[in-house]
Amino acid sequence: MSELVIKNLHVHVEGTEILKGVDLTVRKGEIHAIMGPNGTGKSTLAYALMGHPNYEVTEGEATFKGGRILELAPDERSHLGLYLAFQYPVAIPGVTVANFLRTAINAHRKAADPEDKGIPIPEFRKMLKERMNLLKMDHSFAGRYLNEGFSGGEKKRAEVLQMAVLKPEIAILDETDSGLDIDALRIVSEGVNALRGGDFGAMVITHYQRILNYIQPDFVHVMLHGRVVESGGPELALLLEEQGYDWLREKYGEAA
């Protein structure tokens, strides 16, 4: 089974230890919500797992499909079936959404087979239209420059479209709900739910319960002081919505 296993992960950023021993397992087909107040290491976990050079792993390990990934380059982790949806996606002027996606697909195909000549254009167009129909997206979206002039909701929908095209086995959604109004949040969540199934698992990183009203998690984990301190089902997110994080700070201390 494809599973992401994180054991005793410690990560430093600019000399400061942010993650202090994270243990977590995410299997394909499962939706895990990662919650916690600001500064607890949620985004650090996402970037460290995908190989951002500013995030130094000092201890612990992470494996995917049984293989160690922390020594791999970010693109190699992507080729294995991992994906990171950014909190703040950047614009790429002059590169259309369609061209970006075709280039990404071809990079994955080339990694699997160095002799691969790339996806034929007619096949790509057919596939892209099918994915956009699944996500209820206007086909004109594919001709726009990636994230240039996009609203917050459009940027996040572009991320979901990338997931639909690349078909990762485990996706990490770093505060996908950040900056979205209710309508945009619902649309993006519907896109994620359209991908949900046995071949797609996700870590949904968020501060708030509201996105979990649309994307129902199988498991909820709470991070505090660089560790996962509580795990449970959807009811844990509801408890946090009602009581906040103060009870956890009292339980585990300010510097646990």
Q: Which pLDDT tens digit goes with each residue over 105-131? A: 999 999 999 999 999 999 999 999 999
The answer to whether residue 255 scores a pLDDT higher than 70 is: no
Report the pLDDT value the prediction gives residue 217, as an integer from 0 to 100: 95
Rounded to two decimals, the pTM is: 0.92
Whole-angstrom Cα distance, residue 40 to residue 37?
6
Q: Report whether 16 contacts 226 (CB < 8 A).
A: no
CATH topology of domain 3-252: Rossmann fold (3.40.50)
pLDDT tens, position by position, 168-187: 999 999 988 888 888 888 88
Task: Give the chain's end-to-end CA distance (angstroms, integer).
Answer: 34
57-110 residue pLDDT tens = 999 999 999 999 999 999 999 999 999 999 889 999 999 999 999 999 999 999
Spell out the domain ranges in the chain: 3-252
